[in-house]
Amino acid sequence: MAEELTPETPENETEEPIKQRKNGLYPGVSDELAESMRSHWADTELHGLEPVAQAAETAARRAALSARFPGDRLVIPSGNLKVRSNDTEYPFRASVEYAYLTGNQTEDGVLVLEPTADGHTATIYLLPRSDRETGEFWLDGQGELWVGRRHSLAEATELYGIPASDVRELADALRGATGPVRVVRGHDAGIEAALTDKVTAERDEELRVFLSEARLVKDDFEIGELQKAVDSTVRGFEDVVKVLDKAEATSERYIEGTFFLRARVEGNDVGYGSICAAGPHACTLHWVRNDGPVRSGDLLLLDAGVETHTYYTADVTRTLPISGTYTELQRKVYDAVYDAQEAGIAAVKPGAKFRDFHDAAQRVLAERLVEWGLVEGPVERVLELGLQRRWTLHGTGHMLGMDVHDCAAARVEAYVDGTLEPGMVLTVEPGLYFQADDLSVPEEYRGVGVRIEDDILVTEDGNRNLSAGLPRRSADVEAWMASLKG
Ligand SMILES: [Mn+2]
């Protein structure tokens, strides 16, 4: 990548970072060059743009938000770029709240809902196109010459169905505003600083909680996007199976890189760091270092999800025999987890409690652990004391959406202690994990970890497995792997 302009300037003039040189020309630039850069640029304004695909849904979401907080000014920032090191930044991802309400994903954007007599007026505040007259176009680090063309405010208005305004004027406007204000915190320190004497943590939290609970039930657009995410993820898993020999010759990184290629080509990114856990790494729940060896005879636990361009992510896990065939013990553990998952999926239906599918899956796992003599029964005692948890380790699932662990700010009564409704999408992902140093189990179990995870939509009469495109039964997994390796 290129560095920003570093012309010959006196030492004492180089201290101000070029990114702050919004006005006036850089000292090392001749008047002739400056004049040249001002002119002879084509008018590239776009007209008659089609609104983004989810424009009707984002409008409905803003209407629901407006109805919940009448009379309050609501401020929802997209967030700012974060420095990775020196002058490089992490890839930007807009805040979920902002993207959910606007469909826009631009850094430094802010959605403001201004209270009116009968609701709110929405405005989306964005950085406009670069001014060619002042030189910001090519001399400023945020200039379009460096970061690419932005949409003009008029274009943004058409695309998102929300009037757009210059974000550089927003902080001052907010400082001068009167009346109650709520802001989604944690995304834009500059906007929050402009509101410090107007907001309270409690009231802002109510806004955050509302926007988290609003996402519990997905609309048709969101369900379509989640299906796209899952479909890309299925292809990513197929990609991985096809290159297992190359992973054996290198490391788990080959698997991570292979899946990432699919995610970047078909979607926005991976929705979370891929867990590419071969052998005993499967027992480390969030194994994302992915720097270990891949050995025939071991299992590969692959937990990965493609995130779509609209930020919806899949979250799927398969535990595959690297050789193509499970050993007897691997199959025994795998089939137990499969049975637990089947029991869990069967418990996902409208009117069921969110906890039901977890309880159903845990019961099956406890039964097997008792049957195998790993823990003393009866099963009721094991469940009551939670003894199975030494090997089941985690909850059996979570809501899925624009965050992999979606709706995390929802109240306990709306989510964990809540009731399933049509339109909710959640994972069912039981597992069994025998740590490599677990002396409480026979040696043959040690280092074996299995999880099976699918993405389940609650329907009017039960559920639909969005990730049914990937086989789950042990024999079906083997046949599928054989067909891909050809
Ligand atoms: Mn998950």
Q: Which residues surround ligand 1, an ion (CB under 5 A)?
A: 315, 427
Measured in Å, residue 451 CA sits from the centre of ligand 1 at: 10
Measured in Å, residue 395 CA sits from the centre of ligand 1 at: 9
For 84-127, the pLDDT digits (tens) are: 999 899 999 999 999 999 999 999 999 999 999 999 999 999 99
Please state the φ and ψ torsions of residue 254, each to the nearest 5 degrees.
-65, -35
Distance of CA 299 to the CA centre of its chain: 27
Measured in Å, residue 71 CA sits from the centre of ligand 1 at: 38
Please state the φ and ψ torsions of residue 111, each to the nearest 5 degrees.
-95, 130
Measured in Å, residue 197 CA sits from the centre of ligand 1 at: 40
Of 65, 11, 13, 397, which Cα lies nearest the Cα of 209?
65
With b meaning 16 or more CB within 10 Å and e meaning fewer, what string describes 397-432?
bbbbbbbbebbebbeeebbeebebebbbbbbbbbbb
Give mean pLDDT, residues 381-394: 98
pLDDT value of residue 258 = 98
* Burial tier of 92 (Cβ tally within 10 Å: 0-12, 13-18, 19+): middle
Measured in Å, residue 345 CA sits from the centre of ligand 1 at: 14
pLDDT at 393 over 50: yes
Measured in Å, residue 316 CA sits from the centre of ligand 1 at: 7
Measured in Å, residue 398 CA sits from the centre of ligand 1 at: 7
Measured in Å, residue 371 CA sits from the centre of ligand 1 at: 27
- Specify the 3-state DSSP secondary structure of 28: coil
Does the CA dihedral 471-429-312-1 come out positive or negative? negative
Measured in Å, residue 429 CA sits from the centre of ligand 1 at: 7
Q: Which residues partner with 318 through β-bridges?
A: 302
pLDDT at 461 over 50: yes
Residue that the structure tokens 């030494």 belong to: 390
Tell me the pLDDT band of 1, cut-offs 50, 70 and 90.
Answer: low
For 18-69, the pLDDT digits (tens) are: 444 444 446 788 889 999 999 999 999 999 999 999 999 999 999 999 999 9
Measured in Å, residue 397 CA sits from the centre of ligand 1 at: 6
Measured in Å, residue 458 CA sits from the centre of ligand 1 at: 16
Q: How far apart are CA 124 and CA 156, in angstroms?
A: 9
pLDDT value of residue 432 = 98
Measured in Å, residue 404 CA sits from the centre of ligand 1 at: 7
Tokens linked to 318 = 């398969």
pLDDT at 16 over 90: no
Measured in Å, residue 453 CA sits from the centre of ligand 1 at: 7
- Which residues make Cβ contacts (< 8 Å) with residue 190, sequence separation at least 6? 80, 171
pLDDT value of residue 4 = 60
Measured in Å, residue 113 CA sits from the centre of ligand 1 at: 34
Measured in Å, residue 438 CA sits from the centre of ligand 1 at: 24
Q: How far apart are CA 302 and CA 318, in angstroms?
A: 6
Q: What is the DSSP string of 95-147?
A: -HHHHHHHS---TT-EEEEEEETTEEEEEEEE--PPPSSSSHHHHSTTSHHHH
Q: What is the DSSP string of 72-94?
A: -EEEEE-----EEETTEEPPP--
Please state the φ and ψ torsions of residue 433, each to the nearest 5 degrees.
-135, 120
pLDDT value of residue 427 = 98
Of 32, 164, 185, which Cα lies nearest the Cα of 95?
185
Measured in Å, residue 1 CA sits from the centre of ligand 1 at: 36
Residue 351 backbone zone (phi > 0: left; psi -120 to 50: alpha; other: beta):
left
pLDDT at 82 over 80: yes
Measured in Å, residue 317 CA sits from the centre of ligand 1 at: 8
Give mean pLDDT, residues 10-23: 42
Question: Which of 5-9, 25-29, 178-182, 349-353 is the least confident region?
Answer: 5-9
Query: Taking a C-beta distance cutoff of 8 angstroms, is the pair 130, 120 a contact?
Result: no
Measured in Å, residue 467 CA sits from the centre of ligand 1 at: 13
Tokens linked to 178 = 């009167």
Helix or strand run (H / E) with residue 485: helix 474-485
pLDDT value of residue 26 = 63
pLDDT at 202 over 50: yes
Tokens linked to 77 = 């920032």
pLDDT at 484 over 60: yes
Measured in Å, residue 34 CA sits from the centre of ligand 1 at: 54
Measured in Å, residue 408 CA sits from the centre of ligand 1 at: 13
Give mean pLDDT, residues 214-223: 98
Of 402, 384, 401, 392, which Cα lies nearest the Cα of 452?
392
Q: Which residues partner with 113 through β-bridges?
A: 74, 122
Longest distance between any two alpha carbons in the chain, whole Å: 88
* Burial tier of 135 (Cβ tally within 10 Å: 0-12, 13-18, 19+): buried
With a pLDDT cut of 90, the percent of the chain lying above it is: 91
pLDDT value of residue 20 = 41
The pLDDT mean for the chain works out to 94
Query: Taking a C-beta distance cutoff of 8 angstroms, is the pair 271, 314 a contact?
Result: yes
Measured in Å, residue 100 CA sits from the centre of ligand 1 at: 21
For 303-331, the pLDDT digits (tens) are: 999 999 999 999 999 999 999 999 999 99
pLDDT at 13 over 60: no
Reported residue count of the chain is 486
Measured in Å, residue 230 CA sits from the centre of ligand 1 at: 13
Measured in Å, residue 414 CA sits from the centre of ligand 1 at: 19
With a pLDDT cut of 70, the percent of the chain lying above it is: 95
pLDDT value of residue 142 = 86
